[in-house]
Each structure stands twice: as C-alpha cells, then as structure tokens.
Amino acid sequence: MTTNHEVYLLLGSNISSRIGYMNSAKELIEKEVGEIRTCSSLYESEPWGFNAEKMFMNQVLHVETSLSALDLLEKTQQIEKLLGRTRKSEGSYTSRTIDIDILFFDEAVFSLPGLKIPHAEMQNRRFTLMPLAEIAPDLNHPVLKRNCLQLLEECKDSGKVWKIQSTQLHEV
C-alpha cells in the first residue's frame, strides 16, 4: 500500500515570463510529484538576500504525494533544471526562472545534507509566510511549535510583499 504525504512547496520566479514558469512548474508537479490540493494566491515580493531588477512572484502549493522526502527533492530539482534553473555556489542568491522549496513534509523533521525540513529559513521570510498562512494558517511548525499565522505575525522580515489581484495578471 502506498502512503500519501501532505507537503507544502513554495514556488518562486523573477525571470520573465514569471507566470509562464510558475504555470509550467505546477503542470510538472501535477505530472511528476502528485495532486495539487490547494494553491495560494500569487504574491509579488522584493528579492531576498540580493539585489535584482525584477520582483519575485511566489506561490505556495499544498500537494499530496506518494514520494519520499528525498525523492521529492530529486523531482523538484529535476523540474527546476527542466525549466532552466541553474544552481550557483552554495550560499549565494541569484535571479531564477523557477525555485521550488520544500517547506513541510507531513509533520516530519529532516536534517540531511541538501535537505532541511521544515525549511530552515521559512520563519524569517515574509514572502514564504504570507502565501503559506493564506492556505494553512493553523498548520503547526513541528520544531518551532507555532502555527503559520503565528510565524507570520512574529516575522521580523521587513521586505515588501504584495498579494497580486487577478486584474493585475497581464504580464506578471
């Protein structure tokens, strides 16, 4: 019998066409990872940790998958590569066609080389917490023992994050 896992993924893109890359990533996630149960609204945010000309677009997905955490990481990295993502040296941030971060995997806690779940920086990033709290406000962080709405309220990140209204989706 296959075990299904509840995972939350953060999509991010700041290279045009951002909406095209986001949609392609969602199609590939549905095909290669599992059923997308819920999507947050789209959010636009300032780059975090580096300067870039174009703002980021972000969205959180709630996905049901039968993949293990390591297989999920492998699949999301394959999708990123397929959509033109190039990896830079560890610790440096750059513009990207698509970025897929694993935020939560069930209530599990992993600390492996290249895979930290829950995502190690999520509580420090408003662009992650706003869409996450939109679709899963009561979801508890298994390490910090706070729900997503509490993490958002406590977040010290002052970066600007805007919810995109459907009337604003012309280029995006």
Active site residue 99: yes
Active site residue 138: no
Q: 18, 37, 85, 125: which one is catalytic?
A: 85
Active site residue 37: no
Active site residue 71: no
Kindly write down the DSSP assignment for every residue of the chain, as one continuous string.
Answer: -PPPEEEEEEEEE-SSSHHHHHHHHHHHHHHHTEEEEEEPPPEEE--SSS--SS-EEEEEEEEEE-S-HHHHHHHHHHHHHHTT----STT-----S-EEEEEEETT--EEETTEEES-TTGGG-HHHHHHHHHH-TTPBPTTT--BHHHHHHH------EEEPPGGG-S--
Q: 99, 125, 126, 157: which one is catalytic?
A: 99
Distance CA 60, CA 31 (A): 17
Q: 18, 101, 125, 157: which one is catalytic?
A: 101
* Residues carrying an active site annotation: 85, 96, 99, 101
